[in-house]
């Protein structure tokens, strides 16, 4: 057990070193970086498709599309208007790590980017421990899941800055309680910024877009 703990610490220490290098590189070019995390099927790719369609002519957005086996998400994002999309297939690993990001980051012209979005593998456990050099994590949950998700996966919600609740058009079709999930999340992280959206109907998305515009705008003013 001791050897396993030491190995894990060594792996995370090396990851943090690489993540710090990535963060410094992005900061040098004034690029905001977001790490998107969720369970499978919550709607990360759908949210990114809608975001690209709405903001592709306003912001220069780069996307790293992480997946376990396929490039399906990357292809969807290109079809939605993504002009700078790089697939990152883990080959079975349940999360992205900083070393993987260093392999694809050189494919981007960082001088042209306003925003880099990393779509992590669908998992609320492993990705919580790995810094990818992002400015913040954005955790996505949907109303088709349990409203106790923040309590079941506290590490992810504690390390995230933003929570997006997707599929609000399906509220009432299950026992999912919107106020309860927000209370559960804020019990873990009182500073979470929360958006309520439907990628299918578009409800709530304009607030999400405006936040992204402000995030990039404020970064350019620094």
Could you read off the pLDDT of 146-162 as tens digits, one per residue? 999 999 999 999 999 99
- What pLDDT is attached to residue 6? 58
Q: Is residue 115 part of a domain?
A: yes
Residue 197 has pLDDT above 90, yes or no: yes
pTM (2 d.p.): 0.92
Residue 67: domain span: 6-221
pLDDT per residue as tens digits for the range 46-95: 999 999 999 999 999 999 999 988 888 999 999 999 999 999 999 888 89
pLDDT per residue as tens digits for the range 160-193: 999 999 999 999 999 999 999 999 999 999 999 9
Q: Is residue 46 part of a domain?
A: yes
pLDDT per residue as tens digits for the range 93-138: 889 999 999 999 999 999 999 999 999 998 999 899 999 999 999 9
Q: Is residue 1 part of a domain?
A: no
Residue 53, domain CATH: 3.40.50.300
Q: Is residue 18 part of a domain?
A: yes
Q: Is residue 68 part of a domain?
A: yes
Q: Is residue 52 part of a domain?
A: yes
Q: Is residue 81 part of a domain?
A: yes
Split into its structural domains, the chain has a count of: 1
- What pLDDT is attached to residue 70? 81
CA atoms within 13 A on the CB side of 11: 9
């Amino acid at each position: 057990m001791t050897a396993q703990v030491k190995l894990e610490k060594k792996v995370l220490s090396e990851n943090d070193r690489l993540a710090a290098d990535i963060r410094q590189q992005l900061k040098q070019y004034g690029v905001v970086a977001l790490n998107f995390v969720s369970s499978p099927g919550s709607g990360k790719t759908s949210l990114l498709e809608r975001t690209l369609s709405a903001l592709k002519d306003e912001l220069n957005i780069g996307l790293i599309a992480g997946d376990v086996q396929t490039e399906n998400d990357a292809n969807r994002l290109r079809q939605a208007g993504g002009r700078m999309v790089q697939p990152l297939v883990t080959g079975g690993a349940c999360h992205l790590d900083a070393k993987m990001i260093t392999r694809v980051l050189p494919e981007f012209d960082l001088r042209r980017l306003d925003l880099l979005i990393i779509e992590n593998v669908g998992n609320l456990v492993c990705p919580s421990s790995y810094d990818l050099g992002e400015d913040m994590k954005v955790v996505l949950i949907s109303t088709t899941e349990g409203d106790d998700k923040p309590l079941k996966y506290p590490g992810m919600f504690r390390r995230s800055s933003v929570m997006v609740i997707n599929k609000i058009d399906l509220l009432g079709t299950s026992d999912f309680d919107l106020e309860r999930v927000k209370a559960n999340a804020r019990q873990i992280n009182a500073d979470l910024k929360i958006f309520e959206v439907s990628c299918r109907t578009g409800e709530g998305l304009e607030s999400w877009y405006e936040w992204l515009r402000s995030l990039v705008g404020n970064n350019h003013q620094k």
